[in-house]
A and B are shown apart, each in its own frame.
Chain A
């Protein structure tokens, strides 16, 4: 290792008394050398973001530094006053945040925002600032810099905005770059580009990078060394290759084992039967505008057709805006399709009025993405689950009894029925959501990004639960996801969507082995940590067999 840029030693951050643990971070020590990337990995609540905030001196008012030191190139950062800290930020420490949509000022042109970095630190003449802004935009790989400096943030895509953020973070050539989940909000192909960009800039400028993430795929792509955090304590640190191949701590082992493999399991054999769900020629066009504005039309779903057998899982994968969620919601007619046929077993539901449809609602149910928004905060869990059967005419006490059985089925205590949603964790809430969907004994389940908001270990449990329920009840599942790893593990067949169309549909193993369409190949190539994890899981299965 060359010179130490960041040296964190014995750092403890204390939480207010009401919190569920005393320290957000306890006795943490690590260091980053010039030109080195260190990834801090952990699940939500592990204290990884607090670590980044502590280094930046941007801790929330309730969190206090209890002990330890943070040295940047030999200079102690703790105890610096706000003015000195402000001089450091941007100048010696660059920052990139998760949300590229909100971290830029919507009222300022891109060039001015980059120029502001110099202005705030009194660097360069105004004329030189513009020239440097152009150079930076060129360096982060944005096309046509002369045009980009004049546009506003809303005219750029998420990936482009993140590039602008990186240009700003690197404007003053900081010694340390802090990246807090910088690619989490981006599509997989954009994520791959941004990771490559950060890595290239690091090697060209010799910047030290502190990279916060929850995604082991990203870690495998970018990190030189890893710091694994569990409940605010460092449980393992080491070289990326070593930690990923031979993790020593149990928690790390569990986390790595929970990362779904890209190698699909053995295909299952399914009995041929009437499809549980058949979609033919489905289309939906969004029109905006009103009396005065000229309307804009976007074909969100364009002539989509597929069918799912009982007991089968069809994956619908694609990037954001590809129309996969719209397809899912059209199947339940939560969004009204413009045309096409939706057949549930033998019933065609596309032309029905909402009143007629209500009687057939029980055939198809949905598991939602956000476990925090999908349960009514003012109703007890039992009533939430019983709502469906009650609406379909089952009497209340029978429905409540049934709700308790369902809670048992999804792995929760039946007593949970009397409690309210806020008393449960994200994973538990998702189990409640699944119990609600099952309460009507549906033939088809639509799971819209059902595990995307969950930590990787919880994600694995929920996927197991969905698989187990499917085996037992023989429901057909339409599994909508952006995560190809998850899709590889749970889907029998996968349909790849791009701009409202299905560009390729094949059995999972076949799709991963021989992707036919260019876009599928691009998606597969962009999955982070592809080599690293293909490797670990092969060795793992070798051990087992």
Chain B
């Protein structure tokens, strides 16, 4: 059975993948579904869901909640994916170098990594965003800065164990250069754990971004889910829908990403799977 069929036979992963595809479709269709700016006041303030012409109701200023969620999806996905890529770009090379060369280099890189790990990641993200002014770029940067250390640790571990494999020894013996060995011999064999970790990191990044926006540290020009939850929280008793629906959107997205991540993990590491004994 290959990895793809194993993934397809995992019901949770398929549900997660379905949700993700739906989300991507929403992002792509956003200009058609809600061509107007989500910031525009379109109706009576605090209109209940389904009461007027608005599916999910309106917020305290009469803005359409559904339009906010659809446009917010784009920001959430964008920040989740881009910050994960940036975190991988920092974490993978550092981990590879530390694991491959070992010794003093390993010590230096790992102490540097631990330095970041000793600071609570959310607090560090807040500080970075506050210093740099909240823009899309600074938020991506802040999330990436707090999420690369686990990547480095993972990759270092993989490199440490793969480096002593006989095929790597063989590559040294035939005279391949060190960068070639790292890129063609070892890195392709660490892809599986990288993919799994990345899918889970996207979920964490979306949560982090929402938390930042909730605290009012989001990009003020962008409608995001976290901002919507934060803005509606003072009216949670009389207008629950303003916070509730963006919250559901965050919940479903993170859940979907976790399900897909688990599914990929099981598909790529079939031996680690809990055996179903019957």
Contacts and interface: CB of A to CB of B under 8 A. Distances in A.
Contacts of A368: 166, 169-170
A61 B189 contact: no
Nearest to B275: A61
Given A334-B173, A366-B173, A61 B166 contact: no
Interface residues of A, number: 32
Contact of B174 (A357, A361, A370): A361
A83 interface: no
A368 B170 CA distance: 8
Interface stretch (A102-110, A209-217, A384-392): A384-392
B171 interface: yes
B180 A391 contact: yes
Contacts of B170: 366, 368, 374, 433, 436
B171 A387 contact: yes
Given A373-B166, A374-B166, A332 B171 contact: no
B180 A373 contact: no
B175 interface: yes
B175 A61 contact: no
A283 interface: no
Contact of B167 (A365, A369, A375, A388): A375
A439 interface: yes
Contacts of B185: 376
B167 A373 contact: yes
A391 B167 contact: no
A439 B174 contact: yes
A359 interface: yes
Interface string B23-57: 00000000000000000000000000000000000
Interface centre among B174, B178, B188 (most CB of A within 10 A): B174
B188 A378 contact: yes
Interface string B149-176: 0000000000000000111011111111
B5 interface: no
Interface in A336-381: 354, 357-359, 361-362, 364-366, 368-370, 373-379
Interface residues of B, number: 22
Nearest to A61: B277
Interface in B173-203: 173-178, 180, 184-185, 188-189
B278 interface: yes
Given A376-B189, A378-B188, A378-B189, A334 B169 contact: yes
A377 B174 contact: no
Nearest to A333: B172
A190 B169 CA distance: 31
Contacts of B169: 334, 366, 368, 374
A323 B278 CA distance: 48
B175 A361 contact: yes
A358 B177 contact: yes
Contacts of A439: 174
A98 to B, nearest CB: 20
Nearest to A448: B166
B189 A377 contact: yes
Contacts of A388: 174-176
A359 B175 CA distance: 7
A440 interface: yes
Contacts of B178: 354
B171 to A, nearest CB: 7
Given A368-B170, A436-B170, A362 B175 contact: yes
Interface in A264-309: none
A287 B180 CA distance: 30
Contact of B165 (A18, A366, A373): A373
Nearest to B189: A378
A276 to B, nearest CB: 16
Main secondary structure of the interface of A (DSSP, over half): loop
Given A375-B167, A376-B185, A440 B277 contact: no
B173 A387 contact: no
A358 B165 contact: no
Interface centre among B167, B184, B277 (most CB of A within 10 A): B167
Nearest to B172: A334
Interface string A433-445: 1001001100000
Interface in B189-235: 189
A436 B189 contact: no
Contacts of A358: 175, 177
A66 B167 CA distance: 41
B174 to A, nearest CB: 3
Nearest to A433: B170
Contacts of B188: 376, 378-379
Nearest to B178: A354
A491 to B, nearest CB: 22
Contacts of A369: 166
Nearest to A440: B174
A376 B180 CA distance: 14
Nearest to B167: A376
Interface string B50-66: 00000000000000000
Contacts of B180: 391
A436 B169 CA distance: 13
A391 B176 contact: yes
Contact of B173 (A332, A373, A377): A332
A373 B185 CA distance: 12
Nearest to B171: A387
Contacts of B189: 376-378
A291 B275 CA distance: 43
A357 B178 CA distance: 13
Interface string B106-132: 000000000000000000000000000
Interface centre among A332, A358, A370 (most CB of B within 10 A): A358
A235 B188 CA distance: 45
Nearest to B277: A61
A138 to B, nearest CB: 41
A51 to B, nearest CB: 23
Given A374-B167, A376-B167, A378-B189, A391 B172 contact: no
Nearest to A362: B175
Contacts of A440: 174-175
Interface of B: 1, 165-167, 169-178, 180, 184-185, 188-189, 275, 277-278
7 contacts: A18-B1, A61-B278, A357-B175, A358-B177, A361-B173, A366-B173, A392-B174
- List 9 A-B pairs, minimum CB-CB distance, nearest first: A388-B174, A361-B175, A374-B166, A368-B166, A358-B175, A376-B167, A391-B176, A378-B188, A373-B166
Given A334-B172, A440-B174, 9 more contacts: A354-B178, A373-B165, A373-B166, A376-B171, A379-B184, A387-B171, A391-B175, A436-B174, A439-B174
